[in-house]
Amino acid sequence: MPNYTSAPELTDSYLETVWETLPRFIRPTFFLSAPALFARLGCDLTIASETFQYTGSFKFRAAYNLLSSIPQQRVVAASSGNFGQAVAYASQLLGKSSVVVMPATSARVKVAAVQSYGAVADLIVADRAGRRVRGPCL
């Protein structure tokens, strides 16, 4: 996959490349009709449920696509939970190491999930304006 200096244009070709990059074992998305919302809003509405993905959200697709397109073997991400889990899981699948910087107030279940995928969860006090590097840069 090419390296981008800005967001890629969402062409059919780009989307095909993304789908080819995603692991074949990604779980299917369930699409649910919403007749009660149709009756209330007067428009056809379909709900895409991503709750059965390994990390519990759609964010895994973006994280995997990004991490598979960069040469770096060590990754740092900032997240309070869902994207951090996605980065950690994608890193595990791709053989990369990751650190997810998370607010110290993050839900413990999300911190545990990040760690369960092999990432380091670096908990910080998020209300401070400045930070000091606590160790060598990755």
Q: Say how far apart CA 31 and CA 43 lie, in whole Å.
A: 16
- Contact present, 56 and 118 (Cβ < 8 Å): no
Q: Which domains does the chain have, with CATH numbers?
A: 1-127 (3.40.50.1100)
Of the listed 57, 68, 69, 80, which one is catalytic? 80
- Chain-centroid distance of CA 64 in Å reads 7
pLDDT in tens, the chain (138 residues): 556 677 778 899 988 888 888 877 788 888 999 899 889 999 888 898 888 888 988 899 889 989 998 999 999 999 998 999 999 999 999 999 999 999 999 999 999 999 999 999 999 997 765 555 555 555
**59 counts as catalytic:** yes
Q: Which pTM was predicted?
A: 0.78
What's the CA gap between 91 and 77, in Å, rounded?
11
Known active-site residue 68:
no
